Structure 1
Amino acid sequence: MHDADLTPVTVLTGFLGSGKTTLLNHLVRQPAMRDALVVINEFGDIGLDHRLVAKGDEHSVVEMSSGCLCCTIRGDLSRSVQQAWEAIERDGGRPISRMLIETTGLADPAPILHTLMTDHWLAHRFRLDGVVCLVDAANGVSTLNAHRESQRQAAIADRLLLTKTDLVDEEQLSRLACQLATINPAAEQLQVCHGELAAEHVIGGGLPAQGRRADHWLRAASYSQVSPAAGISPPTQGALVSMMAPASYPTLTRHGEQIRSFCFTVEHPIEPEVLEDWLDLLMSLLGEKILRVKAIVKIAGREQPLALHGVQNIFHPPVTLPAEACPDGVSRFVFITNGVAPEAVTRLFDYFQAPQAEQSPTPP
């Protein structure tokens, strides 16, 4: 099945009290959310949030309250969605147009994305459309400084929604916006008051099935740029091991989170085996520290580039893009990591690229 045939999924995350339920109530009433399936994860045996979200003939709300979606009940996500899917088919309802998953305020979204990519039933029916993170403007700075979960939520988001902006002054809002831009420079920031926001600003944040707006999806220009080390010998295996040690960067929180984001560029087409071997080893060594990877890659021998999307050590199947998605032939990889130095990524690429370079004829 092609990506265009899969149902889009938006993951809605944000720390406790950021306003997710308020936003959901406004979203489900909008035409763009017609026939949407909303999955609400609540922590504890008695859930309340799902009772606060409006229901109608065109909306299905599934509540999961047996634990935290990011850890203990990820298997329940597949079962709950499958049951809702089958019930709709059995009752003769219209097919699910999209799915929106609201996580608990304490959830790390990365394992949820991991589940969407690895669960057989989900992966054959759904595709990630985007991650949207709500940040409480009144408490956002202190929350980011105190809780690692809130930093990870903001770091892997495609869009950041600043809520309760009516409760803060311009100076507070600017300070929060700057801190979020440090954590996630490419995420679009939007201000939201009382949860009132058009659904179009929440959904549709992923890579379009036909590859249009690929540059908007990647936003590579927002990140610091790094390239392979020209003229520098590739590292030995011993040096590679030492490079994999945690990077010495100033911590952003009292819990020691070291969120890093950068864009790695390669100006020549990449041999398929180099790409595969590099990413395989990179993910096996550092997968838990690589929160998210997005890439548009020019492959040697292929006219059409590929879009790659990975979370930790799992990659979504590549999506073929039209040639105009990579007009300059430069491959761009966006990395969002926890304590991984850009040099570790680039020099590992050099390690696999070097044999290819040595086999190439010397230019006259």
Structure 2
Amino acid sequence: MSPDTHDLIPVTVLTGFLGSGKTTLLNRLVQQPVMKDALVVINEFGDIGLDHRLVAEGDEHTVVEMSSGCLCCTIRGDLSRTIQRTFDAIERAGGEPFSRVIIETTGLADPAPILHTLMTDYWLAHRLVLDGVICLVDAASGISTLNAHRESQRQAAIADRLLITKADLVDGARLSRLASHLARINPAAEQLQVSHGEIAAEQLTGKGLSAQGRQANHWLSAASYAQVAPVMDTIQATPGSLVSMLSPQSGPVLSRHGEQVRSFCFTVEEPIAPEVLEDWLDLLMSLLGEKILRVKAIVKVAGREQPLALHGVQHIFHPPEPLPVEACADGVSRFVFITTGVAPEAVSRLFDYFQPAQAP
């Protein structure tokens, strides 16, 4: 049985490309009262750490360092061990339990494996819950960085909040272009301008599903995305047609790596049979999991009064969480997909494949 998410410790993942101002922001955050008893995990690349010396340390929070390599490469074991050891040390010393955890990634890290680990590591999943992903974007170099670096795109695409730093260094027209660029990558993320790391911690916390409770639709923000409905036409049930159907689509890309970040909302108006939901998501994740950065959904399942909230990262889904009936009052299931190189039609047609009328 999965733990009650309301009893878990919230985790904020702080990401952003090199030089975007993560350390400056973190320095301001940890000095605010809401961050009392916070555990700050700083990842550094290389054998000699530097960032932790730049973060203000006090009696009310603990800063620990991971310097065994880039967090996105060594995450699966090191993050869990680091947090476990710190929790154990505080408990042995008779200290108060941590009120929250902040994980700062390196500028080159893909945040998806961090979310993946928080969901799949047994020890972490029974103690921590994702509260949100915060991504910093440098106003002066943001567009060029997003165009040139795959990691920067993925950081922005997965984020729940986008913080634009160094806005005082550029004019209004350039800020507007950056805002539009970010909105194409991640249309639901709130954009905030930050000067010298000064921002109230309350603006960055309490954004996860467990914290928002009945405000699940705000967590999903489905209205921010282009809407895609099932096609419901005949699909030939052969392996060749599935491969063709799920092949990357042609079109302009956002980076030199040939990937295009796509964000869209897939809607289903009728309640979804449990077996269809499971089989569809299983096949979708097995075929395209590496390209699906994040999935959020509020689903009306046939035979259930309460809708379910789903949250997935690449191949893995967090255990479904029941929601109040009013979270899906109109009976429409909504899935938000944030992907790289996956066309909305691929998701829609694969869903059609599992409909009873289309079964071989």
TM-score, reference length from structure 1: 0.96
Label 1:181 to 1:235 Cα distance change in 2 as closer, same or farther (>3 A): farther
- Residue from 273, 276, 280 that aligns with 1:271: 273
Deviation at 1:209, TM superposition (A): 4.8
Asked if the contact 2:11/2:103 (under 8 Å) is kept, the reply is yes
1:258 aligned partner = 260
Task: For 1:120, give the aligned amino acid.
Answer: Y
Paired position in structure 1 for 2:80 = 78
Give a deviation string over 1:38-82, Cα, whole Å, max 9, x none: 100000100110111111111011111110010134311000100
* Alpha-carbon distance in 2 for matches of 1:249, 1:37: 44
CA contact (8 A) 1:110 1:312 kept: yes
Q: Which residue is 1:22 aligned to? A: 24
Pick from 106, 109, 126 the counterpart of residue 108 of structure 2: 106
Q: For 1:291-339, what per-residue CA distance to the aligned partner results, in whole angstroms no more than 9, with x for missing partners?
A: 1100000111111111000000100111111111111010000001111
- Picking from 179, 182, 190, the partner of 1:180 is 182
* 1:236 maps to 2:242: no
**Which amino acid is the alignment partner of residue 152 of structure 1?**
R
Q: Which amino acid aligns with 2:116?
A: H
Cα pair 1:132 1:157 within 8 Å, conserved: yes
C-alpha displacement of 1:210: 6.7
**Structure 2: segments with no counterpart, 5+ residues:** none
Secondary structure at the residue paired with 1:71?
A: helix
- The total of aligned residue pairs comes to 356
State how far apart, in whole Å, the 1-side matches of 2:311 and 2:71 are: 21
**1:245 lines up with 2:247 in the alignment:** yes
Q: 1:117 to 1:290 in 2, by over 3 A?
A: same
Contact 2:131 2:211 in 1 (8 A): no
Shift of 1:211: 2.7
SS of alignment partner, residue 208 of structure 1: helix
Tell me how far apart the structure 1 counterparts of residues 237 and 72 of structure 2 sit (CA, whole Å). Answer: 38
One-letter code aligned to 2:188: A
Report the counterpart of residue 362 of structure 1 in structure 2. none
Partner secondary structure for residue 194 of structure 1: coil
- Between the aligned partners of 1:346 and 1:299, the Cα distance in structure 2 is 17
Q: Which residue of 2 aligns with 1:319?
A: 321
Following TM superposition, by how much is the alpha carbon of 1:92 offset from its aligned partner in structure 2, in angstroms? 1.1
Aligned-residue offset at 1:249: 2.3
Q: 2:136 aligns with which of 127, 131, 134?
A: 134
| 1:142 alignment partner AA | S
Mapped to 2, the partners of 1:303 and 1:235 lie a distance apart of 34
Please give the alpha-carbon distance, in whole angstroms, between the structure 1 residues aligned to 2:211 and 2:4. Answer: 8
TM-score of the aligned structures, taking structure 2 as reference length: 0.97
Letter of the 2:36 counterpart: R
Residue matched to 1:303: 305
What letter is aligned with 1:336? I
Residues 259-291 of structure 1 deviation map (CA, whole Å, 9 limit, x = unaligned):
111000000111111100000000000000101
- In structure 2, C-alpha distance between the alignment counterparts of 1:170 and 1:208, rounded to whole Å: 37
Q: CA deviation at 1:143?
A: 0.6
Letter in 2 for 1:236: A
Deviation at 1:113, TM superposition (A): 0.7
Give 5+ residue unaligned stretches, structure 1: 359-364
Q: Secondary structure at the match of 2:309?
A: strand
SS of the residue corresponding to residue 99 of structure 1 reads strand
Distance 2:75 2:323 in 1: 35
Percent identity, please: 78
Partners of 1:163 and 1:194 within 8 A in 2:
yes
Residue type of the partner of 2:311?
A: H
The one-letter code matched in structure 2 to 1:299 is: V
**What's the CA shift for 1:240?**
1.3
Q: Distance in 2 between matches of 1:209 and 1:153?
A: 22
The aligned residue for residue 333 of structure 1 is: 335
Distance 1:210 1:151, change over 3 A: closer
CA-based RMSD: 1.2
What's the offset of the Cα at 1:8? 0.9
- Structure 2 residue aligned with 1:361: none
Matched, 1:67 2:62: no
The question of whether the paired residues in 2 share the 8 Å contact of 1:4 and 1:210 is answered with no
Matches within 5 A, 1:81-100: 81-100=83-102
SS at 2:39's partner residue? strand
Matched-pair contact (CA < 8 Å) for 1:269–1:331: yes
> Where does structure 1 differ by over 6 angstroms across 4 or more consecutive aligned residues?
none
Instruction: Kindly state the Cα deviation for residue 354 of structure 1 after the two structures are TM-superposed.
Output: 2.8
Cα distance in 2 between the residues matched to 1:111 and 1:354: 35
Query: In structure 1, the residue corresponding to 2:207 is in which secondary structure?
Result: coil
Could you give the per-residue CA deviations for residues 215-235 of structure 1, whole angstroms, max 9, x where no partner exists? 1111000100000114x1134
Structure 1 residues 58 and 331: CA distance shift in structure 2, 3 A: same
1:168-198 C-alpha deviation (Å, 9 max, x unpaired) = 1101100100100011111100000000000
Q: Which amino acid aligns with 1:42?
A: E
Give the CA deviation at 1:5.
Answer: 1.1
Superposition map of 1:201-216 within 5 A: 201-209=203-211, 211-216=213-218
* Letter aligned with residue 171 of structure 1: A
